[in-house]
Structures are given as structure tokens and as C-alpha cells.
């Protein structure tokens, strides 16, 4: 490892995942400010909601890293959850830096890069579990943790100015079913060496006790699924391979064959088998084969536990899935939690299933069928006892999570705490940890196949149209600027008592547009932009009078 020189600094810069849960994008820098070398840890997405109509995927804005890409040494991925790797295929072309991942994560990432047409371009180095990575002044060691996906890793990041423990997502599971237990000995050895800072998951900081073990979930699922009649569907996160394995073994114990429904389920099962997981199970049925089995002999393992509209379970609930149906005497088990913000779509999904006569089983009425993948307070305390950092840097949480985590670390006698927002540059060494600057940090929206800024015109207009409606006005003028046809007015998303009343209101708007045109004289009437602007203003003003709204107005002038 190189030695530190005068002027060198060790900094942490979150550009996603601090003040929010999801979209993790963390940077570590070493060196003098004018020649700082960087590594990226994770590059994930978050998802759209009712405030982002038409946008399902949201990316962190990488502009700072793009501007410093010549000094970017590599992208290191801790595990394969979407909020940690989902943005790689979208943003990697802007960096073109080497990627480092363990085998399971690399398998999932390759599929994403293949879909994006980047598989032959991106350089992926597969790192074995407990392996090491050397990147300039950074010496990284992977530390095995437990989480709700195979191969979760913490990172021991050694630098000439101190060692950082970046936990990624984790919990302490004494019996994770698939994969190894948390390597507490490695973390304690780090603590003995001296950990300068721990950058740590804050998701469950408000929850007392322990998150619970996957083994406990299996013990709950086996008797539950064994007690059910008719067809059974189980919804869980496809990335939780241990949960998938438990559901499959519970199904087999009940004499049922398993059909995977949903592309991500099939993809995750393939990834798991590629690294030797989920062995000893009967082959999965496809949804055509499953039709031939009697109801008591089949279990559908489905995507869509969060009410995603295009996922398998939503299509089943709508009755639009081409091969799978559920009805009276059938059951659906939700082996998952409600992610904050998804309450309404999940409730709607469950109501649709119930309306079909499907019996529902959730963690609320059967608490043992799900456990979290993130550490509760007792686990956080244990991690701090093992690592004994000088600085606590909470991440992976909303603002209230980060502040509570910092207070908890203070209670545990951690000497320093710092709670950055996305874009805050934290100097970890030399000297006391503090925020020393701010860089631009924002979001990019994936709008169809186009990546746009979060404050772009398209989404702003779409939000406005969703709230206020749209009016289209057209008029045809001849060579002497006389009206040949129109103005014609059409409306979308504007209410009236009946069709006749709406026609009267549109006629009123057409009259206002014509009067605005008549008020224009001479050169103003020759200019299409002036004509369109005048009619738009008049229609908006009249719309405010008629509906109490100011809709999006699109005006077109045709010259004939």
C-alpha cells in the first residue's frame, strides 16, 4: 500500500442512499483535492411512484463522477439487489470503469448488461468470497455477511489514512439456510487493527431486538402450506433465494410441484443454481405444464409482492395472466413486508385477490412467514462491539433513520458521528470527521427508454396534465389570415355533468379563442407563434372560469 503524503485526504461522498432507502451510490476518495483517486461502491436504482407518472425507474445523477471519470479506479458491488446494482447498465457507459463483483452478483449483472447491449464492452472481474481487490491507494477485502440475497458482502477498505468498514446491507442470521453465517471473526480482527469509520445500514434502527432468521421462516412456511387446499400462490422477493428455497421445500413436503411465475423469479433461480444453490429440488414446471396438475398438487411462486402493476401476481389478480388463475378455495401467501410507499398498491392487489375468493395470508396474521434482511438495534450494537470504529457514518436510511442511528452510536460510545446528505463530502481523515463541501447530487428519470433530468420539462408537463387535464385547440387560416376552419377544441381529463354540458363548455372555449384571434391586427396575425400564444392565454383564462383549473393547452395554426 502506498504511503500518505502531505495534503492527502480520505473522503466519503454519498450520491445516493443517504436520506433515502434505495438508490445506493457511494464514493470514496483518496489523495489531495486536485488529484483525488476514486472508487464507487454500488450503483443502484429506486422506483417511481404516483408523483412520477410514467416513470418506473429512477437513477442517481452521476455528473460528479462523470467529471472525474479519469480518476475513477473501479466500481465495487456489494450484492445483487436492484438498489445496489440496478443503475449499472444505465450509467456505466458514462464511466467505463472496471466492475468487481462476486459470482452470483456478476451473473445477475451480466444479464442486465446483455439486455442493454453492453456485455461485450463492460469489464467484470469476478472476486471470490472473502477475496481482495487492489485499486491504487485502496486495498479492499470482502467480508461475508448475511442478508436476504446470496453473497452479501461488507468491504474493509484499507487506505494509508485508515480503514473503513462499509457494511452494505446486512443482518446477523445464525442460520441463513443458504450461504455462510456472518464472518464475525473477520470483523473483530478489523476492530483489533483499528477501524477509522464504519459506514453502516440504518434501515431498522427504530426496531428493537433482532431481525430473525430465515430458518424460522422455513419452520413457519412448512406447516402453513401443508394446511392449505386448492391452488397456492406465494409472493416473495425474487432476490431472496433462501426464501425461494424454503417455499419450494415446503411445497414438496406438501406434495406440490413448483411453478415459477415472473421473469425475475426465473432469472434468480438460474443465478442461484449457477453458484450451487437450490440443489436437490425437483425441476420447476413452466406455466403450461402446471395447468395439467390438480389444484392440490401445484404451488405458484410469483413476483409482485409489492403490488407492481406489470408483475405476475397483479396480472393474476386482474384475471389477465394467460396461464395462471386463482379463485375460490385457493390461497395466496405474502412472504414479504410492505416497503414504505407501497401500501396502496399492495392493498389494492390484495383486495382484488380477495374479491376472487382467494384466501390471503400475510405477515400481519402469520408473523413468522417473513423476516427482515436488515439489522435491528441489538444487531447494530453487536456490529459496533465487533468493529469498534472511531467514526459512525449512518447510511441507507431516511433522515430520521440517520439521525437516530447517530444517536444510537453515540450511546454506544462511538467517539464521532456524521450524518451526510446525498452530495455532502465528508473528510474522514486527517483530523476530525466533518462535512467539507457539497457536490451536485440529484436524480435521473428513466422515461420509457430515455434518461432525463428529474426537473425536465416532459415530466413537469405530465404532472400538470395529470392534475389539470389537456386542451387541444386548432384553427385553419387562409392567405389573408381569415378563418377557414375552427377554432376546434378537444379536451382530455376535464369533467362535466354529461356529454352535452362538456360540448357547451368546449364551444365556449372555441368562442374565446376566436375572440382572441380577432383582437390581433396586422403583423401579429401573420405570426403563428403570436396567434398560438394569444389563443392559449384566452383558453387558459376561460378554463379557470369554467373548471377552476389551468390545463395544459396545445394550440396549432394551419395555413391553407
Q: Which tens digit of pLDDT belongs to each residue from 427-444?
A: 999 999 999 999 999 999
Render pLDDT for 344-387 as a digit per residue (tens, 0 to 9): 999 999 999 999 999 999 999 998 999 999 999 999 999 999 99
| Dihedral pair phi/psi, residue 234, rounded to 5° | -120, 125
**DSSP track, 387-437:** H--SEEEEESB-HHHHHHHHHHHHHTT-SEE--PPTTEEEEEESSS-EEEE
Q: Which residue has the higher pLDDT, 141 or 506?
A: 141
pLDDT bracket for residue 478 (50, 70, 90) = confident
Cell representation of residue 145 = 455477511
Stretch 478-482: mean pLDDT, rounded? 83
The three-state (H, E, C) secondary structure of 149-165, written as one string: CCCCEEEEEEECCEEEE
| pLDDT of residue 283 exceeding 90 | yes
- Say if strands 72-76 and 37-43 run parallel, antiparallel, or are unpaired: parallel
CA distance 263 to 308: 13
Mean pLDDT of 278-283: 94
Instruction: For the sheet with 72-76, list strands across it.
Output: 124-126, 99-101, 72-76, 37-43, 25-31, 9-16, 424-429, 434-438
Bridge partners, residue 40, by sequence: 27, 75
Per residue in 148-167, pLDDT tens?
999 999 999 999 999 999 99
Assign 450 to helix, strand or coil: strand
pLDDT at 2 over 80: no
What grid cell was written down for 94? 458514462
CA–CA gap between residue 503 and residue 471 (Å, rounded): 13
- Indicate the range of 185-199, 333-347, 366-380, 410-424 predicted with least confidence: 333-347
Structure confidence at residue 205 as a pLDDT band (50, 70, 90): very high
Decide if 214-365 and 469-559 have a common fold. Answer: no
Record the pTM: 0.88
User: Per-residue pLDDT tens for 211-245?
Assistant: 999 999 999 999 999 999 999 999 999 999 999 99
Which strand ranges, in their side-by-side order, compose the sheet holding 483-492?
Answer: 483-492, 470-477, 552-559
Q: Is the pLDDT of residue 65 over 70?
A: yes
User: What does the pLDDT read at residue 453?
Assistant: 87
Taking the CB of residue 499, how many other CB atoms lie within 10 A of it?
Answer: 8
Is pLDDT above 90 for 454? no
C-alpha cell at 197: 469509520
Rounded Cα distance, 560 and 523, in Å: 18
Identify the three-state secondary structure at position 106: helix
Q: What percent of the chain has pLDDT over 90?
A: 74
**Mean pLDDT value across residues 317-340:** 94
**Residue pair 47/56 in contact by the 8 Å Cβ criterion:** yes
DSSP 546: H
Closest by Cα among 2, 26, 17, 146 to 75: 26
φ and ψ of 546, to 5 deg: -80, -45
pLDDT(1) > 70: no
If you average pLDDT over residues 324-345, what whole number do you get? 91
Is the per-residue pLDDT at 109 higher than 70?
yes
Residue ranges of the alpha helices (H) in 138-262? 184-193, 214-226, 241-253
Find the mean pLDDT for residues 62-67.
96
List pLDDT tens digits, range 496-540. 777 778 888 888 898 888 888 888 887 877 788 888 898 898 989
Mean pLDDT of 449-471: 82
H helices of 471-527, in order, are 499-518, 523-526
Rounded mean pLDDT of 44-72?
90
Average pLDDT, the chain: 93
Q: Which of 77-81, 228-232, 418-422, 452-456 has the lowest mean pLDDT?
A: 452-456
Q: Residues 6 or more apart from 134 whose CB is under 8 A from it?
A: 140
Over residues 172-198, the mean pLDDT reads 97
Rounded CA gap, 343 and 300, in Å? Answer: 23
Alpha carbons 43 and 40: distance in angstroms, whole number = 8
Percentage helix, strand, coil for the chain under 3-state DSSP, each rounded to 5 = 35, 25, 40
**What's the rounded mean pLDDT across residues 108-116?**
95
pLDDT digits (tens, 9 = 90+) for 7-48: 999 999 999 999 999 999 999 999 999 999 999 999 999 988
pLDDT at residue number 528: 84
CATH number 3.40.50.2300 is the correct assignment for the domain at 10-209+372-453: no
Instruction: Tell me the sheet residues that pair with 489.
Output: 473
The share of the chain scoring above pLDDT 70, in percent, equals 100
CATH value of 214-365 in 3.30.720.210, 3.10.20.30, 3.40.50.300, 3.40.50.10710: 3.40.50.10710
What gap in Å lies between CA 393 and CA 375, rounded to an integer?
15
Cβ within 8 Å of residue 433, ≥6 positions away: 197, 391, 393, 416, 418, 426, 427
What residues does each domain of the chain span? 10-209+372-453, 214-365, 469-559
- 134, three cell numbers: 487492489
Cβ atoms of 145 and 167 closer than 8 Å: yes
Q: Which residue has the cell 455528473?
A: 63
Sheet holding 257-261, edge to edge: 257-261, 298-302, 232-235, 331-334, 359-361
The yes-or-no verdict on residue 320 having pLDDT over 90 is: yes
**Alpha-carbon dihedral sign for residues 176, 390, 10, 63:** positive
The CA distance from 40 to 76, in Å, is 6
469-559 in CATH: which number? Answer: 3.10.20.580
Q: Which of 55, 62, 107, 58 is nearest to 86 (CA)?
A: 58
Average pLDDT value for residue range 452-457: 81
What is the average pLDDT across 467-482?
86
Region class of 112: left (phi > 0), else alpha (psi between -120 and 50), else beta: alpha
Q: List the beta bridge partners of residue 554.
A: 472
Amino acid at each position: 500500500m502506498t504511503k500518505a503524503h502531505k495534503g492527502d485526504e480520505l473522503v466519503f461522498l454519498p450520491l445516493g442512499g443517504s436520506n433515502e432507502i434505495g438508490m445506493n451510490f457511494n464514493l470514496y476518495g483518496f489523495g489531495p483535492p486536485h488529484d483525488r483517486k476514486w472508487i464507487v461502491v454500488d450503483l443502484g436504482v429506486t422506483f417511481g411512484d404516483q408523483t412520477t407518472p410514467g416513470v418506473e425507474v429512477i437513477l442517481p445523477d452521476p455528473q460528479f463522477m462523470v467529471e472525474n471519470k479519469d480518476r475513477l479506479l473501479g466500481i465495487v458491488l456489494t450484492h445483487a439487489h436492484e438498489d445496489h446494482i440496478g443503475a449499472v447498465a444505465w450509467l456505466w457507459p458514462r464511466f467505463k470503469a472496471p466492475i468487481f463483483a462476486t459470482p452470483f452478483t456478476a451473473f445477475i449483472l451480466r444479464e442486465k448488461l446483455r439486455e442493454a447491449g453492453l456485455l461485450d464492452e463492460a469489464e467484470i472481474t469476478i472476486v471470490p468470497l472473502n477475496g481482495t481487490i487492489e485499486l491504487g491507494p485502496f486495498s479492499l477485502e470482502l467480508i461475508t455477511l448475511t442478508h436476504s440475497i446470496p453473497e452479501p458482502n461488507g468491504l474493509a477498505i484499507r487506505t494509508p489514512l485508515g480503514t473503513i468498514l462499509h457494511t452494505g446491507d446486512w443482518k446477523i442470521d445464525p442460520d441463513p439456510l443458504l450461504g455462510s453465517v456472518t464472518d464475525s471473526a473477520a470483523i473483530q480482527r478489523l476492530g483489533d487493527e483499528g477501524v477509522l469509520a464504519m459506514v453502516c445500514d440504518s434501515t431498522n434502527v427504530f426496531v428493537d431486538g433482532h431481525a430473525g432468521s430465515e430458518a424460522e421462516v422455513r419452520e413457519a412456511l412448512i406447516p402453513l402450506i401443508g394446511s392449505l387446499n386448492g391452488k397456492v400462490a406465494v409472493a416473495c422477493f425474487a432476490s431472496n433465494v433462501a426464501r425461494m428455497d424454503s417455499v419450494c421445500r415446503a411445497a414438496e413436503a406438501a406434495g406440490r410441484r413448483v411453478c415459477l411465475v415472473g421473469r425475475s423469479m426465473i432469472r434468480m433461480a438460474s443465478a442461484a443454481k449457477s453458484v450451487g444453490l437450490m440443489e436437490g429440488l425437483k425441476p420447476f414446471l413452466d406455466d403450461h405444464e402446471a395447468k395439467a396438475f390438480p389444484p392440490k398438487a401445484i404451488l405458484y411462486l410469483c413476483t409482485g409482492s409489492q403490488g407492481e402493476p406489470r408483475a405476475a401476481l397483479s396480472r393474476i389478480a386482474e384475471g389477465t395472466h394467460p396461464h395462471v388463475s386463482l379463485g375460490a378455495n385457493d390461497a395466496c401467501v405474502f412472504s414479504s413486508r410492505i416497503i414504505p410507499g407501497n401500501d396502496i398498491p399492495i392493498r389494492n392487489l390484495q383486495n382484488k385477490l380477495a374479491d376472487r375468493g382467494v384466501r390471503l395470508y400475510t405477515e400481519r396474521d402469520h408473523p413468522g412467514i417473513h423476516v427482515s434482511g436488515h439489522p435491528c438495534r441489538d444487531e447494530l450494537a453487536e456490529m459496533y462491539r465487533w468493529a469498534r470504529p472511531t467514526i459512525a457514518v449512518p447510511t441507507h436510511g431516511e433522515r430520521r433513520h440517520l439521525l437516530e442511528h447517530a444517536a444510537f452510536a453515540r450511546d454506544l460510545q462511538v467517539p464521532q458521528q456524521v450524518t451526510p446528505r446525498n452530495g455532502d463530502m465528508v473528510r474522514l481523515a486527517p483530523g476530525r470527521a466533518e462535512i467539507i463541501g457539497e457536490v451536485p447530487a440529484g436524480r435521473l428519470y428513466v422515461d420509457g427508454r430515455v434518461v432525463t433530468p428529474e426537473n425536465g420539462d416532459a415530466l413537469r408537463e405530465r404532472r400538470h396534465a395529470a392534475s389539470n387535464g389537456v386542451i387541444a385547440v386548432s384553427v385553419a387560416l387562409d392567405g389573408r389570415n381569415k378563418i377557414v376552419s375552427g377554432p376546434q377544441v378537444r379536451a382530455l381529463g376535464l369533467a362535466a355533468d354529461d356529454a352535452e354540458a362538456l360540448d357547451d363548455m368546449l364551444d365556449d372555449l372555441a368562442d374565446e379563442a376566436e375572440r382572441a384571434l380577432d383582437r390581433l391586427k396586422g403583423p401579429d396575425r401573420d405570426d403563428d407563434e403570436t396567434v398560438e400564444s394569444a389563443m392559449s392565454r384566452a383558453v387558459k383564462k376561460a378554463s379557470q372560469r369554467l373548471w377552476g383549473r389551468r390545463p395544459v393547452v396545445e394550440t396549432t395554426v394551419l395555413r391553407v
